[in-house]
Amino acid sequence: MAIIDNYNAQGPDDTAGKRFDRPPPFYDAWQSKEGIPIHQSFHVDDLAKVELDMWRRFGVPAAFVNLADPFICTAMVLEIPPGGATLAVRHMFETWIFVVGGTGQTLIRQDGVKDQVIDWQTRSLFGPPLNATYRHSNTGTGPARILMVTNAPLTLNLYHNERFVFENPFVFKDRYGGEDDYFDPHHEVMAQRYIRTNMVKDVCDFYLHEWKERGPGARTVFLSMSHHTIGAHVSEFEVGTYKLAHRHGPSAHVIILQGEGYSLLWKEGEDMTRVDWRENSIFSPPDMWYHQHFNTGGKTARYLALKSKGAPEHPCRIGAPGPNSDPDFAKNHQIESEDEDPAIYHMFAEELKRKGLAIAQPRPNYKPR
Ligand SMILES: [Fe+2]
């Protein structure tokens, strides 16, 4: 399956009826020749169970996970055996490193500054600075599994040159200058929900800020890390509650950190798709599909979203507008509770009842239809 939905192997004809054979997108061809599994899926129930095979580029087993619209960002899963390490790599695409499970270290090397080592554990989040060389090693007794969410599809398609992307000597000194405390796990609150940090030790323990506009008991922070343009945010919502439906552009990868529940996803005017989730599930709402998350578990549900844009300090518009380019975006693309389909609240209440849990938010005061 081609990554680009509207990819057409045959180009348009001209007035003389001649045609040309359109080559496949560079990233599709590159993924295929890397020789590791490519999992095409709407959602993955458990990242810890994704099947992997040896990736010579990193020297460890790995796989690609192509969720919806994987033409800007996509996911890769790597597993480092106990006592093992990846090869050292550098690349001209940005990546998040989220630790699905295990403990280890990452060596960061950049020309002109001294090496640094990042210590990580299960649910750590960081981003090697763009084009810095990095090498992960497993310091634990079991396998260490890492999720990468990267803008590799965008970057590789843009330059369609593997050497430029993987063997480029350019040093982004403006992003990382070897500062001693660069990867210390401290954070700075820039304003309310906007946080600057380069290392989150455990995303489940990280500070969040109330965001009641997204629903009762909702808390969120947006992270500015390593001067990436790809964004990250962490959200949680309480037992017996759900978040308001909203929509935005493609490539937001939602990783469930704790809790259980389900999400409804739909394109305006079309049927809904339901995804049931739990810790380590991942899915990506398709471009401009509404999505709404429901907590049906006995504890607070928390998730991490890694996405193609939305970095607070480096706005980078790709595709549909967003909050950085349209101040009314969130308001215009959220369904307020009084506008919701009453079946949504009913379904949630029934789900909770089946589990012996009480709904913790009042029935919306629906507008007359
Ligand atoms: Fe979203």
Structural domains present in the chain: 26-166 (2.60.120.10), 188-354 (2.60.120.10)
Yes or no: say if 95 and 88 are a contact pair by the CB < 8 Å rule. no
CA-nearest of 224, 215, 193 to 315 is 224
Yes or no: say if 176 and 182 are a contact pair by the CB < 8 Å rule. yes
Average pLDDT rounded to a whole number, residues 343-363: 95
pLDDT the model gives residue 13: 63
What tokens appear for 122 in the block?
Answer: 């299960």
pLDDT the model gives residue 280: 98
Average pLDDT rounded to a whole number, residues 117-146: 98
Q: 264 C-alpha to center of ligand 1: Å?
A: 11
pLDDT the model gives residue 10: 64
240 conformational bin, left if phi > 0, alpha if psi -120 to 50, beta if neither:
left
Q: 86 C-alpha to center of ligand 1: Å?
A: 33
Owner of token pair 């810890």: 48
Average pLDDT rounded to a whole number, residues 115-123: 98
pLDDT digits (tens, 9 = 90+) for 174-203: 999 999 999 999 999 999 899 999 999 999
Q: 313 C-alpha to center of ligand 1: Å?
A: 19
Tell me the DSSP string of 184-239: -S--EEEETTEEE-SEES-GGGS--EE-GGGSTT-EEEEEE-TT-SEEEEEEEE-T
310 pLDDT tier (thresholds 50, 70, 90): confident
Q: 135 C-alpha to center of ligand 1: Å?
A: 32
Q: 247 C-alpha to center of ligand 1: Å?
A: 6
Q: 246 C-alpha to center of ligand 1: Å?
A: 6
112 pLDDT tier (thresholds 50, 70, 90): very high
pLDDT the model gives residue 99: 98
Task: Examine the pLDDT at 317 and tell me if it is beyond 90.
Answer: no
Q: 286 C-alpha to center of ligand 1: Å?
A: 10
Give the Cα separation of 43 and 282 in Å (integer).
6
Task: Examine the pLDDT at 63 and tell me if it is beyond 60.
Answer: yes
Average pLDDT rounded to a whole number, residues 58-79: 97
Q: 113 C-alpha to center of ligand 1: Å?
A: 38
Q: 345 C-alpha to center of ligand 1: Å?
A: 19
Q: 295 C-alpha to center of ligand 1: Å?
A: 15
Q: 125 C-alpha to center of ligand 1: Å?
A: 19
Q: 290 C-alpha to center of ligand 1: Å?
A: 8
Mean pLDDT over all residues of the chain?
A: 92
Task: Examine the pLDDT at 44 and tell me if it is beyond 90.
Answer: yes
Task: Examine the pLDDT at 1 and tell me if it is beyond 50.
Answer: no
Residue that wins the pLDDT comparison between 325 and 364: 364
Q: What is the pTM of this model?
A: 0.93
pLDDT digits (tens, 9 = 90+) for 202-256: 999 998 998 877 777 789 999 999 999 999 999 999 999 999 999 998 999 999 9
Give the Cα separation of 262 and 225 in Å (integer).
29
Q: 255 C-alpha to center of ligand 1: Å?
A: 12
Q: 9 C-alpha to center of ligand 1: Å?
A: 32
Q: Which amino acid is at 268?
A: E
CA-nearest of 108, 105, 111, 56 to 84 is 105
pLDDT the model gives residue 12: 63
Give the Cα separation of 292 and 366 in Å (integer).
17
369 pLDDT tier (thresholds 50, 70, 90): confident
Q: 62 C-alpha to center of ligand 1: Å?
A: 27
Q: 144 C-alpha to center of ligand 1: Å?
A: 28
Average pLDDT rounded to a whole number, residues 245-269: 96
Q: 102 C-alpha to center of ligand 1: Å?
A: 28
